[in-house]
Structure formats: C-alpha cells, structure tokens
Structure 1
Amino acid sequence: MNWIAALPMYNVSPALAADWRALLVDVLRQVEPSTEIVEPDDLHAFWRRPDLLISQTCGYPFVLGLHEHVQLIATPQFDAPGCDGARYSSVLVTRADAPFDSLPACRGARVACNATDSNSGYNALRHAVAPHAVEGRFFGATLETGSHLGSLRALAEDRADIAAIDCVTMAFARDAFPELTSRVRELGLTRSSPGLPLIASKRVRPEQIDTLRALDDALAALPERATRLRLKGFAHLPPEAYDSIRQMENEARVANYARLA
C-alpha cells in the first residue's frame, strides 16, 4: 500500500509547520520512507483514510467515533503552561482591556470558538461554563472562527470577548506572535484532558506501529528542534484514557448546557 501522513494540528506558524514536517520525515524514514506527506483539506475524511500511516487528531473527534477507524499510536508530552505529562488544558482568555476578571463575570459576553468539534476550544469551554449557565444559556453571542489563531484575532479586534485556547497553541502563539498575544490576558484554565493523539489506520501492521512508537529517537536526534516544538516526549495511553473527554461533554449535558450559547 502507498501510505500518506500529515501532522496538521499545531502548525501555528510557517516555521513550526516546517519543523513538524521535518520531524515527520525523520520518523517516516524509519518506517516507510516512500510515504507521501500531504496537506489535507477535510481532516475528518483524511483521518478515516485506510492508507493513513500517521497523523494527529483532536481528542473530541477521537471519542465521538474516530476511534473505531484508527489505532492510537502515542500522545505527545509538551513543555507548555497548562500541560501535565500527556494532559493539557485550555487557557481562558479575554482582551487585555476587557472588564472581565473571571469566567462567571463573562455572562452575556461574546464568545469565540475555533470549531464545534474541538475539545480545547468548544468541549472544554462548554464544560467550564455549564455550572454558570441558566436555562442552557450564558453568552450573549457566539462566533465560530475556524482556528485558535482566528479566535485570538477576534478577541484582539474586539469581535469577541472570551475564548478557550489550547494551552499548547497558546504557548506557540506567544512564541511566534507576541504582538497578538500581548492584546489578550488569561482568566484561568479549563479541566485537563489527554492531549491530541497520534493515530494510524487500522490497516497499519503491528510492527509498523511499534516502529512509529519509537518517536523519542527522532526528538533526541535534534534537541534544538524538540525545544522549538516544545516536545518533551511521548506517552502511550490506552484508548480508554480519552473517555474523560466524553465525560466532560456528558457533565455539561446533565447541567442542561448541551451547546455553547
């Protein structure tokens, strides 16, 4: 089979995208050097392709059905505020000059989210808001931006008042776009959950999976690149570890807060 691969989730800047691609090339050299590295348009369709050798997904789509189509390879461990081993949180942020000093104080404010299928930008935020909602509502307006950077820009441009940003993305944004991140400030963190998993098609052979799991070798080969990618290593979690993401969704639904509103 001709395999394909991509690491699309943390390409926050062109420099980071180049580093992620270079890391992927080094990993593939040990497994299937002829693998084609692609830039997928439709991530949900891409993650379900039978010729997928390795990619990275969000934990929310993973628990909502993707896990039936893929194998879990590993979970990155990042050096970023809000991370703890293989777990991460979302950073609750508002504009630097906004009057809000806590999440409860944001009642009636405008919320921005990157996508409704995002754990960090939607599911974790919904879970954090649920205890404060009244009859299923908390915010005055909701804006879907398409990306965490888009949500940060919406805050900076006064098109939204609050957003939840993946803490790893936030750390990368602070590195790459200090002018943008200087225009927002943090209000707190959401509950943590397992980080964004690396996955492979069910058709990838066990021996290939074992080789792919030797990811730390690629990190050790170029420590400077690992530092730029804020990668400390990789954990091997069971798929059941991601059930906590579904639990966050269920707790919000029990609190009558099924959607961000």
Structure 2
Amino acid sequence: MRLVANARMYSVNPAAAATWKELFAWLSSGSGISLDVIDHAFPLPLSELWSRRDLASAFMCGFPFVLAAHRPRPVAAPVPASALIPGKAVYATRIVVRADSRFASLEDTFGGRLGFTVEDSQSGYNALRHHLLPYYRQCGKRLYRESVGPLFTPRRVIEALLSGGIDAGPLDRYALDLMIRHQPDLARQVRVVATTEPTPIPFLVAGSDCPGEVIAALQATFAKFDHDSECADLRDRLCLAAFAPVAIEDYEIFARWDAEARDAGYDQPG
C-alpha cells in the first residue's frame, strides 16, 4: 500500500506548498518509504485527512489531537527557526491588526470585531481565548462587539483583516513567518499587537494503523534534517531549524485551557 503525505496546515501560499512537496520528496528518498503528496485543500475537512488509514505524514494541531477519541500516531514536530524558546518545538499566536489601523495595543481593539479560525484550533481559537480570559474576568463581559468566524485558515484571517471584515485576528506565529518569507510585502500590511505564551506546535502524524517500522524510518530521517547539507535551502525556505520527537504529555495543557475558559463562561473568544 502506498502512503500519503500532506502539509495543508502550513501550505500558506503556493511557494510554501511547493517547498513542502520538496521536503516530502527528501523524506521519501531518505526513509525508503514511498509517499504520495496529496492535495486536501480547504474546504475539505482536516478530520478526514487525519483519519486516513494510508496517512504517513500530515500536520495536526495539538488541540484536536488531545480531544480525539482515536488519535493518529505522532511522527515528528517542527522546530521553527525563530522559536520563542530556541531549539524547542513551540509556537504562539500573534494577534494582528492592519498596519494602517488606529490600534496601538490589544486593549485598543476591544469593542471591535475579532476573527477566529475554527473551534478546534489551538492558535486560532483556544490560545486566543486563553490570552483574553484575564481581560474577560476583569471586565465581567465580552470584550468585542462581534466574533467573526469560523474563518478556518490563517490566509482567510488576513484576507478578512485587510478587507475590513475584522479589526483583529489570530495568526499562528510560524504560519505568519512562512507567509512573510514568501510574501515580504505582507510584513508592511499587518501589525502585531499581542503574542500569546508559547505552547507545543502542531506536529506531523500518521494513521493510527501505520506500521511501527514505517514511523521509525520517517523519524530517523526527520532527525537528520537539521544537519543534512542537502536541506540547507529547505531549512531557509521553510523557516525551520529541525524536527524533534513529539512529547505528547506537553499537549495536555490545551485541554486544561479549554476547561478553564468554559468554567469561566467564556466559551468563544470575543
């Protein structure tokens, strides 16, 4: 049986998508595992991708992973070149506004329209809500006049922001780095007003029935990424330093954040 790979979560633009295909070609060659890189673009549900029996490598957010009744098998976690904790497989959410807006701080955006991606997203929902929770408790009421979503993807958050559909929105920090790497003009269009605390980053998973020897071969190859001379250009274009083993226990914090917000009556960020 041929196995499949997909990097939809971080295929943030055509250039990034093409580079991920190169990464999977390197992974296939180095591991000896034949991989077909498949398209599974929005609006197809990510849950269908993660449940595929022939899946060998696809990005999955840690929040739906910890909530899943039947979890896929962890393969490897990316280590961003600009990780907030150097050398660690972590990321954060950047809350952004239009660069030409009047908002100088996060508090300035209160009373406006806040975008979110989807309810089972860590960066686009759970981390955003956790960051806003202290303000909600202090204020005793919702912070924004409108919550706009689901917007589903970081690209759609930016589109809503630039079109005036929202005043502020959450962006996966690593996804934004990738966007700016391949679309430098974007850095002049958006401005960061807040950054959440770092948490474990989305990681690559395989199907729950994927053979252990396949996963071991993929993991052994990923472990070479940081020092393989053939990957120097890939590391640059993917804004990555390395791939690391997945520490599943670190992701349980996402379920605690979710429970904390719900217990406070703050189900949806806004």
C-alpha separation in 2, matches of 1:155 and 1:111:
9
Residues 128-137 or 186-195, more deviating: 128-137
Give 3-state SS (helix, strand or coil) of 1:217's partner.
Answer: coil
Counterpart of 2:47 (choices 14, 38, 44) is 44
C-alpha separation in 1, matches of 2:32 and 2:95:
40
Counterpart of 1:102 (choices 102, 105, 122) is 105
Give 3-state SS (helix, strand or coil) of 1:25's partner.
Answer: helix
1:60-79 equivalent positions in 2, closer than 5 A: 60-65=63-68, 68-79=70-81
C-alpha separation in 1, matches of 2:61 and 2:30:
25
Shift of 1:91: 0.8
Give a deviation string over 1:217-249, Cα, whole Å, max 9, x none.
355222111111111111213311111122221
Give the alignment's TM-score, normalised by structure 2.
0.89
Counterpart of 2:169 (choices 163, 166, 173) is 163
Which amino acid letter does the alignment assign opposite residue 27 of structure 1?
L
| Counterpart residue number, 2:146 | 141
Give the alignment's TM-score, normalised by structure 1.
0.91
Give a deviation string over 1:118-149, Cα, whole Å, max 9, x none.
11111111111111125552211122223112
Aligned length: 260
Shift of 1:158: 1.8
Which amino acid letter does the alignment assign opposite residue 224 of structure 2?
D
Does structure 2 retain, via aligned residues, the 8 Å contact 1:136–1:256?
no
RMSD across aligned positions (CA): 1.9
Give 3-state SS (helix, strand or coil) of 1:9's partner.
Answer: helix
Give a deviation string over 1:99-120, Cα, whole Å, max 9, x none.
3232233221101122222111
| Counterpart residue number, 2:7 | 7
| Counterpart residue number, 2:95 | 92
C-alpha separation in 1, matches of 2:216 and 2:231:
21
Residues 215-224 or 17-26, more deviating: 215-224
Cα distance change, pair 122–83 in 1 and its aligned pair in 2 (3 A): farther
Structure 2 residues without counterparts, runs of 5 or longer: none
C-alpha separation in 1, matches of 2:57 and 2:99:
39
1:83-232 equivalent positions in 2, closer than 5 A: 84=86, 85-133=88-136, 134-135=139-140, 137-144=142-149, 145-214=151-220, 215-218=222-225, 220=228, 221-232=230-241
C-alpha separation in 1, matches of 2:164 and 2:269:
19
Identity %, equivalent residues:
29
Structure 1 residues without counterparts, runs of 5 or longer: none
Does structure 2 retain, via aligned residues, the 8 Å contact 1:63–1:246?
yes
Does structure 1 retain, via aligned residues, the 8 Å contact 2:95–2:194?
yes
Does structure 1 retain, via aligned residues, the 8 Å contact 2:65–2:71?
no
